[in-house]
Structure 1
């Protein structure tokens, strides 16, 4: 059996569900609400954000095990890397496929913001739960 933490398993499960739902909803919106705006590069966007999310959770898990005091620094570094890599990818795509540039850019920015909110919510709730558990553990130790 592969050793995987509960938090990592929860994030991967929620992240996978979120990726499937956001990709499907995005495709439906582009096909029906904005007919004619679906573009060939659309599937790349949800896949990019899904893979980057998996990379992030593996990095956070490794940091949690080996250098927990650097978790905030890693969080900020990953956000910067994601932003820089996203800008590079958007520029390359928009230069390579000019006729789809506007639709791609607007869709990519929408996914970027949606994933930013999702990941922030997940890690914020994770930190709140971690602090509550730590507080309860200290409380139980002083009672015993």
Structure 2
């Protein structure tokens, strides 16, 4: 249930940031620099949106495998995103070559915007996870080792006074 809630929140925020950034950049291109607009512009937000969906799917997979593997998931997804981004930029420059500078600047803008979003989101998730662990540990400590007796003396499980 917790993982499903996190996935829904991530996808909702990913969609919102994708739509807002796409609209913002499209308005800038059409209003201020229409001669620099390139036909491949819509592919950039689509790439980052699809990678965000891949990212949350990998996160869900690693979450089920164990919490200690989440850091590896973060790092491997960041490295994979960087490598794929470099390949996309190189492929665009070699094969398409139309408005290469505009494409690269737009791509880098989206790269850093989504990087900041993903990092912020997963830092928030880590804090929430640590807080829930802390609350669970406190509940286990309070309820399992020390119990209050009727006469007000605290006794541990063995019956010795604390």
TM-score of the aligned structures, taking structure 2 as reference length: 0.82
Looking at both structures, which has the greater relative contact order when contacts are Cα pairs under 8 Å and sequence separation is at least 6? 1
Report the equivalent of 1:93. Answer: 92
Aligned partner of 1:142 in structure 2 is 141
Q: TM-score, normalised by structure 1?
A: 0.92
Runs (4+) of structure 1 exceeding 4 A deviation are none
Q: SS of the residue aligned with 1:36? A: helix
Deviations 1:99-141 (A, max 9, x none): 3111100000010011110000000011011101111121222
Segments of structure 1 that go 5 or more residues without pairing to the other structure are none
Distance of 1:49 and 1:66 partners within structure 2: 25
Aligned mates of 1:79, 1:121 — CA distance in 2: 13
| Mapped partners of 1:13, 1:95: distance in 2 | 35
1 CA distance for matches of 2:15 and 2:124? Answer: 18
Number of equivalenced pairs: 141
Q: Which residue of 1 aligns with 2:15?
A: 16
Partner Cα distance (1:127, 1:81) in 2: 21
Aligned equivalent of 2:78: 79
Name the CA distance, whole Å, in 1 between partners of 2:97 and 2:60: 39
Unaligned runs of 5+ in 2: 144-162
Is the CA contact (8 Å cut-off) linking 2:38 and 2:98 kept in structure 1?
Answer: no
Residue equivalent to 1:68: 67
Tell me what 1:109 maps to.
108
2:87 & 2:66 partners in 1: Cα distance?
A: 30
Partner of 1:48: 47
Larger Rg belongs to? 2
Are residue 132 (structure 1) and residue 131 (structure 2) matched?
A: yes
In structure 1, the residue matched to 2:152 is none
